[in-house]
Structure 1
Amino acid sequence: MVATGTLLTFGVAAAASLFMAWAIGAGSSGSTPFAPAVGANAISVMRAGLIVGVLGFFGAVFQGANVTEAVGSELIIGEPLTATAAIVGLITAAVLVAIGVFAGYPIATAFTVTGAIVGVGLAMGGAPAWAKYAEIMTLWVLTPFVGGGIAYGIARLLRGDRFDEDYLIALLGGVIGFIIANVGFAFLGPPDGSGSIAGTLGAGLPLPTVAGVDGGQIVAALAVAALSVAVLWFALNRDRTAGQRRFLLVLGGLVAFSAGGSQVGLAIGPLVPLLGSGIEIPLWAVLTGGGFGLLLGSWTGAPRMIKALAQDYSALGPRRSIAALIPSFAIAQTAVAFGIPVSFNEIIVSAIVGSGYAAGNAGVSRRKMIYTVLAWVGSLVLSFVLAYGIFTLITLVR
């Protein structure tokens, strides 16, 4: 039987986690996915907030395990987080993210949470997980260049006259279909893992292995890609404007789903070590609770940040919005697959700016970008220092 004090402490930690989930839903996962679509007038701000909340909830439940386990157990070596450490780390990060939401600046949640959890972990006496830090920093550093560069390239192609616009967009739809076919989902895999649509559909095809990948999975993924090209091509030929708008909304939905799968781990990851200390709660139940927190944040706090991202960073049209969301989805799914906490603000803002520069700096606010980058770096450093100092002070007082 679990002691009352233990349950009470876990309850406080869970409340801090829910607060963090709300802050993330309001500031990162709730605002970024549909910001390009709102900027292109494909959907209203309030409707975007409602839809992204629901999709983020499902993403948290079906894809949230990898990042959750990474944040909970891979950032510090030797010292599992205590309930007090989890509470300090989560509240510190959540307050900083909430300040960013109300100030209208997209604080990078992954930077903030990672800094806070590493801070309390080191204050507990744990050792730095340098190998994991190298993975995280590599993705963080490459994201603006890769995401912004790809968005710039796609936007340039769509604006040019060398290729037919409908043909290019349909091919881009095929790329998205191929990625979707290979994305891992909890409901398609074993109890302790995930499975993909291509893996499931191709399992029964008697084909040889190619470069270490099952031939059936490759054929199934290509078939999904071809179907995506055909559907989008038909929609564009029927009505180009409506077809682009639908594709843009689908991309926003996919990014919202991916945001839930990634960002929920930032909120509930610190609770993972507590689940093995006499408190028997399945991970899927914790993921559901975290997804609910994201949903509440998206519904109540996201519209302000959606407006900031959609209008303050770059004036977006449908083509540049499509260019921004495609690399955002790909980077997000890469992070989910490898269990790396990543900032959706960094992903989306970089892609928006990259696609904006393709139009000759159209609407790109350099002043806003400088403040944003400073906020990202400052949130990492400040969350680390505050969490380390607060936990050390609490330890000395006790």
Structure 2
Amino acid sequence: MVDVVTLGTFGVAALASLFMAWAIGAGSSGSTPFAPAVGANAISVMRAGFVVGLLGFFGAVLQGQNVTNAVGTELIVGQSLTATAAVVGLLTAAGLVAIGVFTGYPIATAFTVTGAVVGVGLALGGDPAWAKYQQIATLWVLTPFVGGGIAYATARTLRSQRVPERVAVPLLGGVVGVLVATIQFALLGGAAGPRSIAQIVGARIPLPVVAGVDAGPIAAMLLLASLATGALAYEMRRDEARGQRRFLLALGGLVAFSAGGSQVGLAIGPLVPLLEEVTIPLTALLVGGGVGLLVGSWTGAPRMIKALAQDYSSLGPRRSIAALIPSFAIAQAAVALGVPVSFNEIIVSAIVGSGYAAGGAGVSRQKMFYTVLAWVGSLVLALGVSYAVFVGADALV
């Protein structure tokens, strides 16, 4: 039987988590996935906010477990978060993200939440999880270079006169098909753990094991890649502009789904250590977090979508496609590794990289400088404020 005090403190922490989910939906997961598509005039701002909210919800429920567990249990060693610590950490991070939403500057949610959780964890007497920090820092540092570099190379290829778009776009669709085939879904694996479409389909393809490698999943990946390539080639032959637009919208949907799978963990992760006390399953927590993301996307995302689509770079369909492909790949890698990652960092880096492929057309260097400053400042500020607030609250009690 759960006592009233425990249930009450969890309720307060859950409300703080919902506020954080709303802030993330309005700022990061709700705005970044379709920002390039809006910048390319492939979809309206309001429609983008509506669609990304639905896709983010499904991503949160189907893929949110890895990052959620990482944020809740792997950022501090030797000490579990308490309800009070969860409230302080979540409110600190959500406040900073909300400031970014209303000022038009995208605050990196992964930076703020990670800093806040580490701050309250250290205040509780826990030890730093240096191995996890190294993994997180590596991804954060590499993201601008890898995402921006791939976006730049892809945009240059699409602009090249030597490679017709009727060939390049379908081939890129095949690459995305391979990535989709490797996505791990909890519902596909059951008790055996998450499995990918390639694993499920490959198990039904009667192919031998060659040199210790199961050929079935590889064949399934190639099959899905061929289907994507063929469908896009057909669309491009009929109408190149429409084919590009549909591909762009599909990429935005995939990134939105991935955003939900990653960002929900930033909102509900601090509640994970409390679940045993209140006997609530993780799935219910994922659904609640997904609802928070959805509401945030519907109510607050349009402002940030406009900021990302118009203030960073003047995007066309080709540069938008170039920005979304590495964004999708990096997002799925982060989900698979259970590493909290900022979608603002991913998308902004890719947008700038694709913009430089056109000679830096429309890239605002001043905006980028202040954005990077906000990212670094939010990490340091979240850690310091959450630590100080928790120590002060603990002293009063």
Tell me the TM-score normalized by structure 2.
Answer: 0.99
Displacement of 1:166 in angstroms is 1.4
1:312-323 matched pairs, under 5 angstroms = 312-323=311-322
Displacement of 1:158 in angstroms is 0.5
1:337-356 matched pairs, under 5 angstroms = 337-356=336-355
Displacement of 1:209 in angstroms is 3.6
Q: Deviations over 1:236-257 (max 9, x none)?
A: 1111001100000000000000
Displacement of 1:214 in angstroms is 2.2
Q: Deviations over 1:207-241 (max 9, x none)?
A: 33457542111111110001110001001111100
Displacement of 1:192 in angstroms is 6.6
1:70-219 matched pairs, under 5 angstroms = 70-191=70-191, 193-209=193-209, 213-219=213-219
Aligned to 1:332: 331
Gaps of 5+ in 1: none
SS in 2 for 1:388: helix
SS in 2 for 1:189: helix
Displacement of 1:276 in angstroms is 1.6
In the aligned structure 2, how far is the partner of 1:298 from the partner of 1:389?
A: 31
Partner letter of residue 392 of structure 2? L
Aligned to 1:37: 37
Displacement of 1:397 in angstroms is 1.3
Q: Deviations over 1:310-363 (max 9, x none)?
A: 000000000000000000000000000000000000000000000000001100
Cα 1:317/1:211, change in 2 over 3 Å: farther
Displacement of 1:163 in angstroms is 1.1
Partner letter of residue 161 of structure 1? Q
In the aligned structure 1, how far is the partner of 2:98 from the partner of 2:134?
A: 28
Q: Does 1:297 align with 2:286?
A: no
Q: Does 1:365 align with 2:364?
A: yes
Aligned to 2:13: 13
Aligned to 2:221: 221
SS in 1 for 2:5: helix
Q: Does 1:281 align with 2:245?
A: no
Aligned to 2:379: 380
1:238-253 matched pairs, under 5 angstroms = 238-253=238-253
SS in 1 for 2:339: coil
Structure 1 ranges of 4+ moved more than 6 A:
none
Partner letter of residue 288 of structure 2? G
In the aligned structure 1, how far is the partner of 2:103 from the partner of 2:157?
A: 36
Displacement of 1:205 in angstroms is 2.6
In the aligned structure 1, how far is the partner of 2:227 from the partner of 2:121?
A: 48
In the aligned structure 2, how far is the partner of 1:211 from the partner of 1:114?
A: 42
Q: Deviations over 1:339-398 (max 9, x none)?
A: 000000000000000000000110000000000000000000000000011001111111
Q: Deviations over 1:189-218 (max 9, x none)?
A: 124721111100011333334575421111
Cα 1:211/1:10, change in 2 over 3 Å: farther
Q: Deviations over 1:23-54 (max 9, x none)?
A: 00000000000000000000000000000000
In the aligned structure 2, how far is the partner of 1:268 from the partner of 1:162?
A: 49
SS in 1 for 2:314: coil
SS in 2 for 1:107: coil
Partner letter of residue 355 of structure 2? G
Partner letter of residue 239 of structure 1? D
Q: Deviations over 1:292-323 (max 9, x none)?
A: 00000000000000000000000000000000
In the aligned structure 1, how far is the partner of 2:298 from the partner of 2:204?
A: 42
Cα 1:32/1:153, change in 2 over 3 Å: same
Partner letter of residue 63 of structure 1? Q
Gaps of 5+ in 2: none
Displacement of 1:58 in angstroms is 0.2
Q: Deviations over 1:124-182 (max 9, x none)?
A: 00011000000000000000000000000000011011111111110000000001011
Aligned to 1:69: 69
SS in 2 for 1:325: helix
Partner letter of residue 289 of structure 2? G
SS in 1 for 2:190: coil
Aligned to 1:394: 393
Partner letter of residue 119 of structure 1? G
Partner letter of residue 122 of structure 2? L
SS in 1 for 2:326: helix
SS in 1 for 2:232: helix
Cα 1:55/1:210, change in 2 over 3 Å: farther
In the aligned structure 2, how far is the partner of 1:104 from the partner of 1:271?
A: 29
Partner letter of residue 55 of structure 1? L
Aligned to 2:22: 22
Cα 1:76/1:213, change in 2 over 3 Å: farther
Displacement of 1:291 in angstroms is 0.2
% same residue: 73
Cα 1:211/1:373, change in 2 over 3 Å: farther
